[in-house]
Chains A and B, each alone.
Chain A
Amino acid sequence: MTDNAAVSWFADLRITDRPTVGGKGASLGELTYAGIDVPPGFVVTTAAFELFLKALEERSPVRALIEPLDETDLDAVTAVSKTLRQRVVEEPLPQQVERAILDAHLALTGADMAVPVAVRSSATTEDAEDASFAGLQDTFLWVLDAQDTVARVRECWGSLYSVESITYRRKHGLPEDGVAMAVVVQKMVDARTAGVMFTRSPTTGDKSVITIEGAWGLGSAVVSGEVTPDRWVMGKITGEISVRDISEKHIRQVPAPGGGIVDEELSGDMRTQPSLSDDELQALRTVGRKIERHYGRPQDIEWAIDQEGKLLLLQSRPETVWSAKAAAPVAPVIDDPLKHVMTIFGGRQ
């Protein structure tokens, strides 16, 4: 990509582009590069945000309002937040930025107004935990038209000026100069089933198993915890399915007629039937292994299966909890390997 393009396509991105397209955008680019099926899309880059910010600053100060704030003065922070969010949502965009987003949206949807997109913030911070602290996890699903898409991009940007976000930056003394936000715009998957996949056990850290959680409808229900997903544990290498916890799934999230999503009550067999077939589980395992091999470390993955049964990857990020622990050898190294048999013959140590 060129450094100052307002928009970059997934197909042109790699993980190293994180500073300008954020973690989510860079990861989707990398997955696309690795040959994984990812719903197509583009990223509104930090360059676009900076152009907009420059235009805002020219009209009235932005950064200068934040830098002197005391993070404990909630009233002052709230007042600044309100002002700035309103400006981000309402003030005119530089024309080149608006044009770039609208053109990209047209290229993505092919002028078919019925093609919905997801708009998600893509934070540029290294650590996903920081980003969630800072409240930078906005996601808008089933966005129906180009103008609405632009509006949602602005809302994502606006979250940089949320009370939590400002407070966090002030508390940690982060300079406002480095603050930027990329936004992912991606074709929405009309998911029959969606969920998450961990390529190492969340409970034991075992790298030889894959845990998959899934439920009917859009993955947002699983991620937000609104439905107890079905859960499977399978051998990463062998594909054996050792755990099948099929839950009672009382709702699913589906597209709302006028855009956005809505909960739909489930009845009958769907509540208790597994939301994935064994073949689909195996397909997920294959993709999970491929991504893990590509990155060289265990991953947390979001996925969806569309109404036609096609498997698509929505997100992948490195597993952090177990990977943070120092790996100690399982067994002490012994000069005479035969002495290992004493673990069986030597009794309790």
Chain B
Amino acid sequence: MSEPIKGFPLPSSLKVVPGTEAAQAAFPYYTQFQPGDDERFWFYNSMHFPEPMHHFDMITAEAAYVALGAFNTRVHVLPTAKGIDHRIINGRVYIGGVAVTDSDEIQERVGEFQQRAFYYYEHWEELYDAWKVKMKALIADAQALPTPSLPKYEPLETTHTGKGVAANHALLDIYQKQIEGYHRMWHHHFEFLLLGYGAYMTFFDFCKKAFPEISDQAISRMVAGMEAEIFRPDEEVKRLARRAVELGVDAHFTDGMSIEQVLADLDKVGNAGKEWLGELETSRNPWFNVSSGDGFYHYHRSWNDDLSLPFAALPGYIDKIKAGTNIERPTGQLIEEREQLVADYRELLDTDEDRATYDQLIGLAHRVFPYVEGHKFYCEHWYTNLFFNKIREFGALLRDNGFWAKEEDVFHLTQYELESAIVDLMLSWGIGSPPRGPDHWPAIVAQRKAAIAEWGKHGTPPALGQVPDAIDDPAIVMLWGITRESLDAWLSVDEDAPSNELKGFAACQGVVEGPARVVRSVEEISRLKQGDILVCQVTNPTWAPIFQKIVAAVSDIGGSMSHMAIVAREYGLPAVVGTGSATQRIKDGQRIRVDGGRGIVTILEDEPVLEDA
């Protein structure tokens, strides 16, 4: 046996931050830690939920784990793992796997799994085509839901058509359909995800055995897709830059411009301006339905809600076009490079048997990858954005009826509380008397607002409970990158590391020095100047358009296979992701060095400036 290691705190020892007890109690009972939980292993899902959660946003965890569990446990029947359990404390989401350990049960599940999963692999393309049809229909359904509103009197046609249903019922109908749609989206999301990642990881595992020192980057470059939807928004920004130059309206786009002013001006400058605005509309639907975050929080708004990001990128692209620089994504060249890489590694294999297996596994990985890269646009971006905006409409309606002061306050209620508030309003409209909400919710909203602020000030342990001998849950390994080795690393604090150094995942190689620009939200993106190093909490593929301006990127969260890492490699941008604390330790304007090949960021501020060699 290996020597016993320092453990993580037990869930029972983790205290609710004083003063936030009521806010903690408002999370559903089945998400509260209970005594038996001390016997299990839990880890903080900082990858998806890096900040304390608003009560409503918890639906993202809940709906995702309902669907993930169902597909792992009962649809695909993964042999060694069931679903993911989750708990909430201080607004933080802890998750734990449910391993299958009985060998007879595993055997039984192997049989089930092979019948089910292999069918998916064999019919991947047709099932994925059908998936896109389903997803687009689901999105159309959400778009068709009306804005919730209550007239003074029911329209006359309600009576003349014998509709038999009054307007207050529509509130419940819209709300429940929207909640139902969100859950359905997450089911669709997990229909392919684990199988896709699994096929990718199988190839990954083979490469690691055949080439023990191969980098994660090299493997992902062999698999990376070329036509994924996630690259399209950036292509649209380039297209708009090109059109602006062609139409002669490019002078309107400058660094630090007021977007409203530009839009208003273009509307006034005649046909060319109007034509460009028409092009903007074409791009917006659907390609600007990308979240500027990863879509897991209501405040991760889409480009359509906030045009800052695409507009911040326009002047740079326009300058490049006018200077004659080619800004087209070199798809043909990228495909050629990928094929060359696949062929070159193949040539290094020792045996014909290995070459045969390699061909099978790279084939399977290429087959599944369009889904792995593409699903996010439909699920986490497009649908999630529609979903949160629909909830905003309820926020506005309830605000107008005195429930709270701001539209956004709605996100301080859980989905169940929100339904009760909607029922309150339905009752009051029907009864003709004031709703109770305005007396009930403002104090609760204020309390929860304060609680989130308080939770944000307190760190939280990366893991809790008993350390397992091994992590055998493919979902945890694949989705969160957590292995027994990474737990050991969490437990051993590296005391020798220099204090001006941050370590993360090597996302894209290259060594660059420059001034750090710490960007905490998408509103701050316009502060980025040519030559800056972007330092942010979560980088996201939809930030790609501003990559042209920066020389490197550093993030707090993310793994070497995250979408950010994939895009950084696309752009050849040195990047270190998952440093944990870059936005806290690096000060705006400090000179830093990013070594994307080693995953190390060095703060240079106190070092003498090196002379150019």
Contacts and interface: CB of A to CB of B under 8 A. Distances in A.
A240 B361 contact: no
A119 interface: no
A337 B361 contact: yes
Q: Do most interface residues of chain A lie in helix, strand or loop, or is the interface mixed? A: loop
B364 A338 contact: yes
Contact of B351 (A206, A327, A346, A348): A327
Interface stretch (A55-63, A87-95, A305-313, A328-336): A328-336
Interface string B342-377: 001100111101101100110110000000000000
A120 to B, nearest CB: 32
Contact of B211 (A208, A331, A337, A341): A208
A208 B345 contact: yes
B357 A337 contact: yes
A224 interface: no
A343 B207 CA distance: 13
B121 interface: yes
A39 interface: no
B117 A238 contact: no
A94 B515 CA distance: 72
Interface in B457-504: 470, 472, 474, 478
B117 A341 contact: yes
Contact of B217 (A209, A240, A337): A240
A201 B364 CA distance: 29
A341 B204 CA distance: 11
A207 interface: yes
Interface string B183-209: 000000000000000110110011001
A344 B196 CA distance: 12
Interface in A297-349: 327-331, 333-334, 336-348
A345 B80 contact: yes
A339 B114 CA distance: 8
A237 interface: yes
B218 interface: yes
Given A329-B351, A337-B361, A348-B470, A342 B218 contact: no
Q: How large is the interface on A (under 10, 10 to 19, 20 to 34, 35 or more residues)?
A: 35 or more
A331 B209 CA distance: 8
Contact of A241 (B80, B205, B218, B597): B597
A299 to B, nearest CB: 14
B121 A341 contact: yes
A208 B348 contact: yes
Given A237-B341, A331-B206, A344-B198, A206 B106 contact: no
B215 interface: yes
Contacts of A342: 79, 110, 114
Interface string A200-238: 010011111100000000000000000000000101111
B476 to A, nearest CB: 12
A242 interface: yes
B221 A238 contact: yes
A305 to B, nearest CB: 15
Contacts of A333: 353, 356-357
Nearest to B118: A338
A327 B210 CA distance: 11
B215 A240 contact: yes
A99 interface: no
A208 B221 CA distance: 15
Contacts of B350: 207, 327
Contacts of A329: 351, 353-354, 357
A201 B84 CA distance: 40
A340 B357 contact: yes
Nearest to B211: A208
B199 A341 contact: yes
A171 interface: no
A237 B110 contact: no
A207 B470 CA distance: 30
B214 A206 contact: yes
A205 to B, nearest CB: 8
Given A340-B357, A345-B79, A348-B472, A233 B213 contact: yes
Contacts of A207: 211, 348, 350
Given A244-B598, A327-B350, 9 more contacts: A208-B211, A208-B348, A278-B511, A337-B360, A338-B121, A342-B79, A346-B79, A347-B472, A348-B470
13 contacts: A204-B212, A241-B509, A278-B511, A329-B354, A337-B360, A338-B364, A340-B357, A340-B360, A340-B361, A344-B198, A345-B117, A347-B79, A347-B472
